[in-house]
């Protein structure tokens, strides 16, 4: 059984979320004795293929053409539809990124098969492929089982698993495939393609201290940073703190920020809006400090501290200092 992974290419490098899909695919292939294969499109794909091989792919279909850059939907869709029709993989895993979530439903429509988006887990149980999504404000974990004969097309969210260091998985065979001849230039024209450089890697952080509007001002936010420093933690933030200019966007957690999976998250002066909560994945412990006992953050917190962060945080730092 062939498990395919879409190897998202950005500037000649495989994206981190694609590496997570690859690792998930590797685990799935291992659990059923299947093979892990990748498909890469675009230009300058040497390093993408090499890294995918180090991630466990044994075969990579490379569809290389300058006309495939920058990414636009139709040429990718047509290329994937053709090559999947030819090789019949059991499934295609894609990152739940702009590209992946663009391609998946359109490809499923073209191939008349099912697509399941934004999955947080995927596994085989009694030979059935179970795809899990968090729904209803993350309160319900729903299981989906793709049916029919076509391949299952599944997108996986950022943070779905840890990416191991590049390994040695034996020979990787790269097969060059001609791109489909699709003239999309008249339909879509990309004016600019820019990704802000990432300076902090919140996703890898084991402890995060998050600061919200309750910090009150930049001075108040410094307390959040001091607590993070005392714990050897990363600083995270809500959009309100970012919008206030107390911290950069690269520290924002949530729907339009990073998805994180720390062992410990300390939320300081954060109300717990759903757009923030969706960024906190995994089953790590959550501690919340808030003056309002009815704040929604307390519904997800394992430890609730009802109090003013300007009082509570200095006490925590002091206690940590005594312990050290």
Q: Which is nearer to ligand FAD, 77 or 280 (CB)?
A: 280
CA dist 143 and 123 (Å) reads 10
From the CB of 220, what's the least distance to ligand FAD, in Å? 7
With CB under 6 A as the contact rule, the residue among 3, 153, 154, 289 that binds ligand FAD is 289
| Cβ neighbours around 291 below 10 Å, total | 15
Q: Which is nearer to ligand FAD, 13 or 292 (CB)?
A: 292
Residue span binding ligand FAD (CB under 6 A) among the ranges 16-24, 155-163, 176-184, 308-316 = 308-316
Q: Which is nearer to ligand FAD, 35 or 291 (CB)?
A: 291
From the CB of 297, what's the least distance to ligand FAD, in Å? 7
From the CB of 315, what's the least distance to ligand FAD, in Å? 13
Site for ligand FAD in 172-231 (CB under 6 A): 212-214
Residue span binding ligand FAD (CB under 6 A) among the ranges 12-20, 38-46, 179-187, 284-292 = 284-292
What residue has token string 């895993």? 93
From the CB of 262, what's the least distance to ligand FAD, in Å? 15
From the CB of 138, what's the least distance to ligand FAD, in Å? 14
- Contact of 268 with 289, CB cutoff 8 Å: yes
Given the DSSP bridges, would you call strands 234-237 and 207-211 parallel, antiparallel or unpaired? Answer: parallel
From the CB of 157, what's the least distance to ligand FAD, in Å? 14
Residue span binding ligand FAD (CB under 6 A) among the ranges 102-110, 120-128, 191-199, 234-242 = 234-242
CA dist 250 and 236 (Å) reads 9
Taking CB under 6 A as the rule, does residue 316 contact ligand FAD?
no
Taking CB under 6 A as the rule, does residue 308 contact ligand FAD?
yes
Q: Which is nearer to ligand FAD, 6 or 221 (CB)?
A: 221
Beta bridge partners of 303: 287
From the CB of 144, what's the least distance to ligand FAD, in Å? 25
With CB under 6 A as the contact rule, the residue among 26, 90, 239, 251 that binds ligand FAD is 239
Contacts with ligand FAD by CB under 6 A: the residue count is 28
Binding-residue pattern over the window 251 to 280 for ligand FAD, x denoting contact by CB under 6 A: -xxxxxx-----------xxx-x-xx--x-
CA dist 267 and 286 (Å) reads 7
Q: Which is nearer to ligand FAD, 146 or 236 (CB)?
A: 236
Q: Which is nearer to ligand FAD, 57 or 280 (CB)?
A: 280
From the CB of 11, what's the least distance to ligand FAD, in Å? 25
With CB under 6 A as the contact rule, the residue among 238, 265, 281, 316 that binds ligand FAD is 238
| Cβ neighbours around 138 below 10 Å, total | 15
- Contact of 153 with 115, CB cutoff 8 Å: yes
CA dist 39 and 263 (Å) reads 33
C-alpha of 117 from chain center: 12
Task: Tell me which residues touch ligand FAD (CB under 6 A).
Answer: 212-214, 238-241, 252-257, 269-271, 273, 275-276, 279, 289-292, 295, 308-310
């Amino acid at each position: 059984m062939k498990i395919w992974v879409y190897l998202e290419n950005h500037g000649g490098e495989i994206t981190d979320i694609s590496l997570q899909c690859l690792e998930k695919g590797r685990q799935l292939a291992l659990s059923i004795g299947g093979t892990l294969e990748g498909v890469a499109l675009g230009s300058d794909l040497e390093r993408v293929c090499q890294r995918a091989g180090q991630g466990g792919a044994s075969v990579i279909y490379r569809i290389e053409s300058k006309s495939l850059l920058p990414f636009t939907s139709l040429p990718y869709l047509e290329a994937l539809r053709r090559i999947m029709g030819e090789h019949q993989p059991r499934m295609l895993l894609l990152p739940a990124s702009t590209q992946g979530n663009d391609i998946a439903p359109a490809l499923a429509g073209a191939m008349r098969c099912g697509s399941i988006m934004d999955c947080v887990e995927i596994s085989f149980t009694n030979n059935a492929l179970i795809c899990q999504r968090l729904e209803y404000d993350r309160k319900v974990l729903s299981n989906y089982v793709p049916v029919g004969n076509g391949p299952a097309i599944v997108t996986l969210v950022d943070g779905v698993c840890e990416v191991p260091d590049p390994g040695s998985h034996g020979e990787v065979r790269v097969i060059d495939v001609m791109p489909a001849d699709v003239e999309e230039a008249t339909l879509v024209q990309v004016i600019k393609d820019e990704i802000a450089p990432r300076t902090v890697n919140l996703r890898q952080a084991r402890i995060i201290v998050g600061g919200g509007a309750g910090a009150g001002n930049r001075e108040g936010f410094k307390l959040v940073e001091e607590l993070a420093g005392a714990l050897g933690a990363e600083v995270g933030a809500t959009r309100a703190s970012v919008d206030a200019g107390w911290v950069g966007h690269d520290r924002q957690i949530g729907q339009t920020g990073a998805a994180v999976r720390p062992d410990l998250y300390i939320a300081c002066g954060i109300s717990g809006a759903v757009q923030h909560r969706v960024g906190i994945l995994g089953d790590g412990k959550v501690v919340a400090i808030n003056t309002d006992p009815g704040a929604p953050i307390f519904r997800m917190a394992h430890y609730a501290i009802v109090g003013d962060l300007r009082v509570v945080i200095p006490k925590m730092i002091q206690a940590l200092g005594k312990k050290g």
